[in-house]
Amino acid sequence: MPVRSICPDKVAELQAVPLSYPANATEAGRAPLGYKHFQATALLTRRDFEGLASDLMSWRMHERAGLRVRASVATAKVGAIVVMRLGLGPLSLRIPCRVVRVVDEPDRRGFTYGTLPGHPESGEERFVLERQTDGAIRFTVTGVSRPASVLARLGGPVTRLVQDRMTQRYLGALDRL
């Protein structure tokens, strides 16, 4: 299913607001004060690097992980806006992000997005596929975050469990596409 688009006025609004965390948080090698660093990696069973990269960069991985996705562009690029939803109906969580970096190398592909105001967390996540010399493909999700919304702060350890569960869903989603 092709990703649904966001109306141009909403895209302009979300491109104009600042990120809700210190920029380049996953590149610093350590989490900013008050943020938790996390990283998870999986060796994928699929071996079609270009197909995997396409599924990742076109938001299909996020959809397969159970999120409803709307994006400003069909393929992740710097400045792209993506608004995801987790849950059903009016109680679903709204998850707005902006792509801040893209990796486009022969054996490495991926992107990093940062949270925007309204996201339940504050931070960024990086999704990178790496083709190993033996042809195996490693998928790594790295991030830094802290609760941003009242709901996320009140959730305490449950909030962290939900984030850990979503990370595991991301890691498995590309193999299921």
Q: What is the pLDDT of residue 111?
A: 98
pLDDT tops 70 at residue 102: yes
Per-residue confidence band for 22, with pLDDT thresholds at 50, 70 and 90: confident
Contact at 8 Å (CB) between 24 and 142? no
The tokens for 158 are: 């449950």
Give me the CATH number covering residue 162: 3.30.530.20
* Domains: count for the chain: 1
The whole-number average pLDDT for the span 10-37 is: 84
Per-residue confidence band for 1, with pLDDT thresholds at 50, 70 and 90: low
* Bridge partners (DSSP) listed for residue 66: none
39 or 23, greater pLDDT: 39
- The predicted-structure confidence for 123-155, as pLDDT tens digits, reads as follows 999 999 999 999 999 999 999 999 999 889 888
Q: What is the pLDDT of residue 25?
A: 65
Question: Would you tell me the crossing angle of helices 157-176 and 49-57 to the nearest 10 degrees?
Answer: 140
pLDDT tops 80 at residue 165: yes
Contact at 8 Å (CB) between 167 and 159? no
- The predicted-structure confidence for 46-77, as pLDDT tens digits, reads as follows 999 999 999 999 999 999 999 999 999 999 99
pLDDT tops 80 at residue 41: yes
What does pTM read for this prediction? 0.94
- The predicted-structure confidence for 87-98, as pLDDT tens digits, reads as follows 988 889 999 999
CA distance 86 to 68: 7
From the list 34, 40, 64, the residue with the least C-alpha distance to 52 is 64
> Which residue is associated with the tokens 């920029």?
23
Domain that holds residue 65: 4-176
Computed over every residue of the chain, the mean pLDDT equals: 93
